Structure 1
């Protein structure tokens, strides 16, 4: 799966790398709600309608990254459900999380060129990438 090419194609076709706008174009409803504790967000499909739910208590930049991450799940892992995978299969959930993280990083950076001489860390922060996600840029 070539995630970099997939995100570039999305950006080229739709003219945006904003996960909220792309979700709207794909008819995915984004809800920002109060979620318990460590839940940052999740995606769900109910009666053929797709939803991305984001924790209202997360900072705005983080909400953007969470939306991109969940959009990655929606577009890359159709028909997969985290709870089903962990309870009913022997699949490695980490693999799907890594792919969604890579999708989010590549999507959020594809519209912003790196300035000449700009350190990678500054570039990624400017694009809204959390520090722990830097490894998914490569």
Structure 2
């Protein structure tokens, strides 16, 4: 997964999930998805879409976009929903992979400072503090 992300960032010269999605021809839409769904990824008639809940903070919108981009890159042909309940308490394999993809993409090229805690690192790179749950503490950047 790290190599895939490194290639994406190198090819598009950014780790911004919105810019990468645009370059890949993925349409981004915003709407009210209710209280438990943060985002979804689907494709219809050869068009790909990421839909992000419009009530999220900018940090969460960025994370959700990266998460849904992860589904596009990792889970070809499968439409997915980023449902808060399942993501926080018992995420399935695809959700875990998409969360990991998002964290790796958004932290690409921005390693933690020496002795920096996740509590300080995540806001510094624009990630919501709750995403610490998805962060593999053993992974080096």
TM-score (norm 2): 0.82
Q: Secondary structure at the match of 1:40?
A: strand
Give the counterpart of 1:56 among 54, 57, 66. 54
Corresponding pairs, count: 128
Structure 2: state its 5+ residue gaps. Answer: 82-90, 137-141
Q: Find runs of 4+ consecutive structure 1 residues off by over 3 angstroms.
A: none
Is 1:133 the counterpart of 2:137? The answer is no
RMSD: 1.9
Please state how far the C-alpha of 1:135 moved relative to its aligned partner.
Answer: 4.3
Cα distance in 1 for residues equivalent to 2:29 and 2:57: 15
Query: Who is 2:87 aligned against?
Result: none
Contact 1:16 1:111 in 2 (8 A): no
Contact 1:32–1:53 (CA<8 Å) still a contact in 2?
Answer: yes
1:90 counterpart residue number? none
Does the 8 Å CA contact 2:71/2:80 hold for their aligned counterparts? Answer: no
Does residue 42 of structure 1 match 2:74? Answer: no
Once the two structures are superposed, the pairs formed by residues 103-122 of structure 1 within 5 Å of their partners are 103-122=101-120
- Bigger radius of gyration: 1
- Residues in 1 aligned to 2:80 and 2:135: alpha-carbon distance in whole angstroms: 24
What aligned pairs does 1:51-90 form with structure 2 within 5 A after superposition?
A: 51-82=49-80
Structure number with higher helix proportion: 1
